[in-house]
């Protein structure tokens, strides 16, 4: 055991936040849907060391079914397929460790935002719910850290993710905290957990993601149900500010250049024996056939496929902000994915699933 100190070499410098705290003297249930969600959450608590079998070794061959999450089917290129199995197994292991590390650090951010919400939201039911979410997030941090250490090593947080977490923690506006965390960050997480959980054949990871994703679908529901109640109470200027905050969070997370996500992955892959020039040539030459079979609906990423539909449901997708979303999505992914104009973009937006928990488990499309 290392020596106990107040300042540890692993901690970040302090972040000054401007949170306002609200006491609420009404203890009776008031927002029924949030009280129900709180009750559900207390009943759904699970225990990492009791409910997951940590003694199992990770079967790396089965693990290599875990998606890389690059948004481009790199693993289908002839170059990738020509690599020896040991190399692709190693590539999947390191890529997943990087991705899971981002989930892990995001969970720490969620833990701290949820704890802030206990203080900052004005309704008792919402404070109660945020308390259960705080407990959930602690468990998520615990299980992701433990799993990554079993698999590889924890990698540093991507600067774009750190930026969003900082902004969400720093704002004094509790509605912005809900939008930044429950709608944008957890919306993206839910989408990624769903994909990883569905495709991976590694049993411990699948099980862990099943538990985590169930909790996350409640966190997302909390954001949606609370925000959709609040938005009609806002004045125009306040609503515009909230819309812009959501737009900014989503934009930073999706902007591939800002994120440096791909650059980091390339670095990881090069260390594991990939020749980036050959990979790009293969990707370029085979682009047509790699994307031909993908139906249009499945090409939507997490922002377009989930976060923006959530904002629409909450009453935070005015035509003004939709135009901005369309602009940057088109810039990043092209008109085929984002639509030629904002009308086409809105037309292709999917409806949010009726039951997010069942959707995450792959029980409904
Ligand atoms: Fe979480
Ligand atoms: Fe969460």
What is the reported pLDDT for 297? 47
* Report field, pTM of the whole predicted structure over 0.85: yes
Q: Would you say residue 54 has pLDDT above 70?
A: yes
Ligand nearest to the CA of 217: 2
The closest of 224, 191, 209, 253 to 314, measured between CA atoms, is 224
What is the reported pLDDT for 1? 60
Q: Would you say residue 2 has pLDDT above 70?
A: no
Q: Would you say residue 261 has pLDDT above 90?
A: no
What is the reported pLDDT for 257? 56
- Band (pLDDT 50/70/90 cuts) for residue 45 is very high
What is the reported pLDDT for 287? 81
Top mean pLDDT of 130-134, 303-307, 345-349 is at: 130-134
Ligand nearest to the CA of 139: 1
What's the mean per-residue pLDDT of the chain? 91
Q: What is the pLDDT of residues 278-298, one digit of tens each?
A: 998 998 898 888 777 665 545
CA of 190 to the centre of ligand 1 (A): 9
Residues of the chain above pLDDT 90, percent:
70
For the segment 105-114, the average pLDDT, to the nearest whole number, is 98
User: Which residue do the tokens 């990554």 mark?
Assistant: 148
For the segment 214-222, the average pLDDT, to the nearest whole number, is 96
Ligand nearest to the CA of 186: 2
CA of 283 to the centre of ligand 1 (A): 34
Q: What is the pLDDT of residues 155-206, one digit of tens each?
A: 999 888 999 999 999 999 999 999 999 999 999 999 899 999 999 999 999 9
- The dihedral through the CA atoms of 14, 20, 23, 29 has a sign that is negative
- Band (pLDDT 50/70/90 cuts) for residue 115 is very high
Enter the tokens of residue 306: 């989930």
CA of 222 to the centre of ligand 2 (A): 10
Enter the tokens of residue 17: 């936040």
CA of 184 to the centre of ligand 1 (A): 13
């Amino acid at each position: 055991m290392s020596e106990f100190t107040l300042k540890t070499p692993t901690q970040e410098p302090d972040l000054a936040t401007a949170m306002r705290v609200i006491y609420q003297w009404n203890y009776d249930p008031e927002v029924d849907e949030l009280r129900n969600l709180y009750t559900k959450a207390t009943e759904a608590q699970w225990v990492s060391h009791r409910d997951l079998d940590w003694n199992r070794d990770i079967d790396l061959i089965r693990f290599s079914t875990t998606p890389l999450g690059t948004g481009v089917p790199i693993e289908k290129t002839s170059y990738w397929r020509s690599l020896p199995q040991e190399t692709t197994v190693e590539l999947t292991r390191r890529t997943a460790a990087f991705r899971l590390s981002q989930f892990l650090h995001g969970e720490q951010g969620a833990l701290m935002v949820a704890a802030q919400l206990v203080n900052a939201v004005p309704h008792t039911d919402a404070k109660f719910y945020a308390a259960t979410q705080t407990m959930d997030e602690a468990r998520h941090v615990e299980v992701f850290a433990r799993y990554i250490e079993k698999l590889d090593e924890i990698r540093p947080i991507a600067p774009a993710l750190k930026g969003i977490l900082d902004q969400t923690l720093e704002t004094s506006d509790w509605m912005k905290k809900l939008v930044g965390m429950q709608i944008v960050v957890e919306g993206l997480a839910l989408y990624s957990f769903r994909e990883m959980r569905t495709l991976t054949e590694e049993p411990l990871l699948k099980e862990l993601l099943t538990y985590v994703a169930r909790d996350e679908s409640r966190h997302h529901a909390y954001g949606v149900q609370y925000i959709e109640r609040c938005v009609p109470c806002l004045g125009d200027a306040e609503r515009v500010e909230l819309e812009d905050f959501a737009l900014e969070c989503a934009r930073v997370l999706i902007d591939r250049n800002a994120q440096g996500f791909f650059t980091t992955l390339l670095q990881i892959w090069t260390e594991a024996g990939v020749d980036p020039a050959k990979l790009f040539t293969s990707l370029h030459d085979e682009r047509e056939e790699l994307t031909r079979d993908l139906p249009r609906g499945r090409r939507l990423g997490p922002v377009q496929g989930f976060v923006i539909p959530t904002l629409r449901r909450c009453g935070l997708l005015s035509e003004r902000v939709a135009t901005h979303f369309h602009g940057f999505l088109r810039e990043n992914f092209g008109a085929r994915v984002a639509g030629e104009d904002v009308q086409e973009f809105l037309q292709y937006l999917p409806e949010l699933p009726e039951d997010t928990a069942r959707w995450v488990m792959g029980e409904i499309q």
